[in-house]
A and B are shown apart, each in its own frame.
Chain A
């Protein structure tokens, strides 16, 4: 048996690309999530105009209202950028303000979504009413779940900032959360465009062929 000796001390982490492992993992995860939303959005588009009974999108979608919540969500991406910038500068007050601002704007968006779901339910659109209800609630519901997860993540970072764990040395934590947040925002731009702006005026079943 070979002699038991000490290992040579090459303690610097192996890294071929210079991109941090966690950041790389997260980018690949986001591409995975793209396919996830891609499949959900495709389902929505395939079933566009296929509902046999109402309510149809034109009866029920409130485009101005959702435009407001979309605006809030897009603004939250700005706050997220400011939070990261504050973290890199170790501006602890800025970190807390901008993290909280991002989370609160996300919560406003979710508030609008809950209100919207509630309204739709009152107008007789449930997840089991027709294909529009099925695909609409599933797609926007999964997006809402993503946003909610992001909000929890932001509040966790906010709490950690009081324990001195959000510093420029650990800015990657905030950066990765930011990647997620921006991604969720971008997905919403696609969903808003397709459901509300393109498909918002769909009425009854489209007879094709």
Chain B
């Protein structure tokens, strides 16, 4: 029981690897997501470091302007699509089925397919580094800068086709989890009894299902412009680059909530567990989450105030953007209300959750200042925007994710993360992030534009930039501490037991790490915070507190079989994508390898749908 890789994977190295490749277990897929995404988080962090070192002094010459362009493009893209989104996905995978009392997700093989396709997109886009065609059009890839004449190597193809793979992965995962949450809840787990984390994850799945197709169309149009000579964003033929901006931000703003709602959900689980009282105003938090999900569709043009959409559009989007601050504010007050009068235990997870609230307030307030269009005209494309988005995404999303990691690591591994190192990690991160990002507000207000690779000392930006770069080093150290903590605690951490935090959720009613089948007996849920109800009743009646569910022989539980068709289909999709990078005109087909890839996808889907989820067994 000591390691994650029990039960399924006893045997030689090959059979262990094979069992991970063919796994359909949501817990293992969650771990795969986490490891991949965390590596990409560090990679994107190093890309940020290159930029910060370049900007540490005026007239810096660490990298060329071209490399600088590649760095900010890959830093943004990797952080958004390959770090925060999949770190959230790791929580969706691991936590949702446990928290709603299910044995797995609704479509376990589809879930494996999502992960392998995500990995394919990571590898595909970063392959650009190996062949020397790194995307350099910004993470938003504004046309016509991302078009052939202005970005003439294959970098933007790596970007757009790579993101299409990520889009397939996310959309499929979104569909899968919508069905899981709607259909697979345990008896008694009504919608309004679900943990807030699951609620926020649910809203995000719906956003994914609706937002991804819009960016998919944008990416298809951009790719077709580059590969097949269409004219979507070619201004000389009447094409309108503003269309790209609309398509990108109609996706892009819901995407912001796709990034931030899951951490909001996570801390809504963490705060009650460490304040020892139920979440204050549960329905308000749930409905404001839903409201954010809905209103997130009506604010995208605040990214485009300076485009010149006209006074009516600007006024409308100013008002909607200010309105969306209301449900966000409701949440913040509810979190504070949860802490109010609680017997608070400042464990690492709690520190990160409280840090989230503080940092998110700063990021949220600077966000409201962008909503005011005249003010935004000044801030557009300055470091003020960078300060804002990093307070929301680092101070918000990443701190929330760390909070979740400290909270659920004991469940996943059976070991507690070291609290001493955890607190050190928190304080160094907290100081580092403020040192790095707070000076950027002033830099932006002093007119320092985004995406410049250097600046002259006459502008007077030297000290603040040096401070910000120093902050980066502090953050770098904090990440090293965290990685050390994970490795050390995983190897020789304190045994966690099944419920180290006296937490309210269903996931704490089973052993740590959970058995492959999750629940030997499906739990019956009597209300919100189901495990608290059971524990408090036992205490009141003077009985022994019920421990973890007893283990049973996994072969007697109805579970889906492992399958290699998901990874086969993902590899086929990767071949399809690679095909578009290699032009071999055969007869009238420009990209024959893609045709082969497409056929392999078809074979994979066909074989997959013919394979029964579980072989008939005699029980």
Contact = CB atoms under 8 A, between A and B. Distances in A.
Contact of A128 (B176, B220, B228, B517): B228
Nearest to B205: A28
Contacts of B209: 28-29, 31-32
A25 B106 contact: yes
B237 A24 contact: no
Interface string A129-162: 0110111001000000000000010001000000
A32 B517 contact: no
Contacts of B179: 21, 24-25, 28
A111 to B, nearest CB: 19
Nearest to A36: B213
A32 B175 contact: yes
A5 B550 contact: yes
Contact of B175 (A3, A29, A43, A133): A29
Contacts, number: 143
Nearest to B236: A52
Contact of B185 (A8, A16, A133): A16
A147 B569 CA distance: 22
Contacts of A50: 238, 240
B213 A127 contact: no
B326 interface: no
A121 to B, nearest CB: 12
Interface residues of A, number: 46
A35 interface: yes
Interface in A25-53: 25, 28-29, 31-33, 35-36, 38-40, 43, 46-47, 50-52
Interface string B541-574: 0000000101111001110000000000000000
Given A4-B552, A21-B106, A25-B107, A47 B210 contact: no
A208 interface: no
B295 interface: no
B307 to A, nearest CB: 14
Contacts of B224: 127, 134, 138
A131 B511 CA distance: 61
Contacts of A19: 183
A28 B179 CA distance: 8
Contacts of B186: 14
A47 B553 CA distance: 62
A9 interface: yes
Contact of B551 (A1, A29, A35, A156): A1
Contact of A21 (B183, B210, B606, B619): B183
Nearest to B548: A2
B177 to A, nearest CB: 10
B558 A11 contact: yes
B212 A32 contact: yes
Contacts of A35: 210-211, 213-214
A21 B218 contact: no
Interface string B173-185: 0111011001111
B178 A28 contact: yes
A53 to B, nearest CB: 8
Contacts of A10: 521-522
B334 interface: no
Given A6-B556, A39-B214, A40-B217, A51 B230 contact: no
Contact of A7 (B211, B243, B520, B602): B520
B231 interface: yes
Interface string B455-488: 0000000000000000000000000000000000
A16 B184 CA distance: 6
B229 interface: yes
B550 A2 contact: yes
Contacts of B221: 43, 138
A205 B619 contact: no
Given A16-B182, A128-B229, A7 B107 contact: no
A15 B556 CA distance: 21
Given A5-B552, A16-B184, A134 B230 contact: yes
Contacts of A46: 240, 243
Contact of A43 (B102, B184, B238, B243): B243
A39 B249 CA distance: 12
B182 A24 contact: yes
Contact of B230 (A3, A32, A127): A127
Contacts of A134: 224, 230-232, 239
Nearest to A52: B238
B67 interface: no
Interface string B226-260: 00111110000111100100010010000000000
A205 to B, nearest CB: 7
B381 to A, nearest CB: 25
A9 B619 contact: yes
Contacts of B239: 47, 131, 134
In the A-B complex, the 3 residue pairs with the smallest Cβ-Cβ separation, listed nearest first, are A39-B217, A36-B213, A128-B229
27 contacts: A1-B551, A2-B511, A2-B548, A2-B551, A3-B551, A5-B553, A6-B552, A6-B556, A7-B557, A11-B619, A14-B522, A16-B183, A16-B184, A21-B183, A25-B107, A25-B176, A28-B174, A28-B209, A32-B209, A39-B218, A43-B247, A51-B238, A128-B229, A130-B238, A134-B230, A138-B224, A138-B230
Interface of B: 1, 102-103, 106-107, 171, 174-176, 178-179, 182-186, 209-214, 216-218, 220-221, 224, 228-232, 237-240, 243, 247, 250, 511, 517, 520-522, 548, 550-553, 556-558, 602, 606, 619
